[in-house]
Amino acid sequence: MIVYDLECPCGYQFEGWFSSRAGFEEQLSQQLVLCPNCGGCQVHKILSPVAYHHKASSSSRPSQAQVPVKEDSGGQELVRYLESVSRFVEDNFEDVGANLATESLKMHYGVEEKRNIRGVATEQEEKMLEQEGIALLKVPYIKPDSEPGSESN
């Protein structure tokens, strides 16, 4: 079972439960995923809050600010998790590159339809977006493992 956070162009956000990613894609292509608010079928996935859970020993409780990591070779479990987050962002967000601030402002002020975007912004642009009431979520990018047969130096 997989749960997606979805949004309709009418602005309504809701949750959808599907048997698999393929099941979601099939229902979406057949226009069977409908907005409960307006009945529209032009819904799309939006970024869901993510959590990283690690089994802690019974004698210690991690604080909310900590991301516990096993003592494995260089935190490989955390690296694998961050790789999966990176893949999700790549698969579900349009890369607008250095135009992140411009595109964010256009969507914020209704010039363009809201959509999931990713890109880069300067520190000055980040501050300006914050002043405009636009929140950014910085996600660390972990390049997925090299493809088999490729060389890394």
DSSP codes joined into one string, 125-144: HHHHHHHTT---------PP
84 neighbors 139 (Cβ within 8 angstroms): no
Instruction: Give the DSSP letter of residue 116.
Output: -
pLDDT at 54: 46
Average pLDDT, the chain: 77
Sequence-ordered list of residues with C-beta below 8 angstroms from that of 62, at least 6 positions apart, any chain: 54, 56, 68
pLDDT confidence tier of residue 140, bands split at 50, 70 and 90: confident
pLDDT at 1: 65
pLDDT in tens, 50-109: 444 444 444 444 444 444 444 455 567 777 878 888 888 888 889 898 899 999 999 999
Sequence-ordered list of residues with C-beta below 8 angstroms from that of 94, at least 6 positions apart, any chain: 115, 116, 117, 118
User: Of 88, 96, 87, which Cα lies nearest the Cα of 144?
Assistant: 87
Radius of gyration of the chain (CA): 19
